Amino acid sequence: MAASSTKTKVSLKLLIDTKNEKVLFAEASKAVIDFLFNLLCLPIGTVVKLLTTNSMVGSLGNLYQSVENMNDNYMQPNQSKDVLLNPKSHSSSTQIDGFITHNNVNDDNDGTDLFVCPHKCCFEVTNDKTTQCSNRYESHRMSQPVTYIKNEKVAEKRTTIKSGFVKDVVTFMVMDDLVIQPMSTISSITLLNKFNVKEIGTLQEKVVQMGMDEGIKLLKASLQSKMVLTSVFINKGN
């Protein structure tokens, strides 16, 4: 675990009802939403290793529903909601540590050195230059590096693709129970009415930092509670 990754932090702006000591909702950036959506990609084994917790009752269902309801226009062009809604057990390359996400977007050259037989007696390649050529009439090590020719058009296209799941063009609203939707002034006012907020003076904005510790607490709370943000950032009972 790299030391630099454990120090990675992202900001989350909370709107708190101080009278009831409850988070009404949070204003969240792309980084936060990508992290929350990544929770759906974590294999059960990873969850157990991170939490060693008992039950899975809580708000993950709301998070799943938020992905299902999310308009495709908010998703990155190289991402499909199906990756989150129907994750494959072998496709989890998400690390909760430091919100590092590898989204299976490969560069033209992934950094792996490839080698062929220097005598060109076969058409095979390997990533280990000590590998013996499979030609039964010859016995050579496949030690000749492969010359890599970059496809400029593909490279140019891929530079426009950003990592993560959602686009970085809109701010999102995260409810206390992890319901997520694009943020707007109208939706904020509607929520204040929904929560029956009569005194604006009881509301308080608070910016919190999310790192590795908070991420694990969020994951744990999402399996146990319908008041995830409140339990992690206000009650701090996790």
The verdict on 101 and 58 lying in the same domain is yes
- Which class for 63: exposed (0-12), middle (13-18), buried (19 or more C-beta within 10 A)? buried
Identify the three-state secondary structure at position 17.
strand
What's the mean per-residue pLDDT of the chain? Answer: 76
H helices of 120-211, in order, are: 152-158, 185-194
State phi, psi for 17 to the nearest 5 degrees: -90, 100
Is the entire prediction scored with pTM above 0.75? no
Domain boundary pick from 160, 182, 201? 160
Percent of the chain's residues with pLDDT above 90: 26
pLDDT greater than 50 at residue 16: yes
The verdict on 183 and 139 lying in the same domain is no
Number of domains in the chain: 2
The verdict on 42 and 101 lying in the same domain is yes
Percent of the chain's residues with pLDDT above 70: 69
* In contact, 22 and 234? CB cutoff 8 Å: yes
pLDDT band for 48, please (50, 70, 90 cuts).
Answer: low
The verdict on 220 and 142 lying in the same domain is no
Domain boundary pick from 118, 141, 160? 160
- Rounded to the nearest angstrom, the gap between the alpha carbon of residue 149 and the centroid of all alpha carbons in its chain is 32
Q: For 220-233, write each residue's pLDDT tens digit.
A: 898 889 999 999 99
Cα 27 from Cα 16, distance rounded (Å): 11
Cα 47 from Cα 161, distance rounded (Å): 29
Give residues with Cβ within 8 angstroms of 210, minimum separation 6.
Answer: 9, 10, 11, 12, 32, 35, 99, 218
Cα 53 from Cα 222, distance rounded (Å): 11
39-48, 85-94, 183-192, 211-220: which range is least confident on average? Answer: 85-94
The verdict on 129 and 226 lying in the same domain is no
142-151, 172-181, 206-215: which range is least confident on average? Answer: 142-151
Query: Can you give the pLDDT at residue 230?
Result: 96
Domain boundary pick from 93, 128, 160? 160
Cα 49 from Cα 44, distance rounded (Å): 9
For residue 139, the enclosing domain spans: 106-160
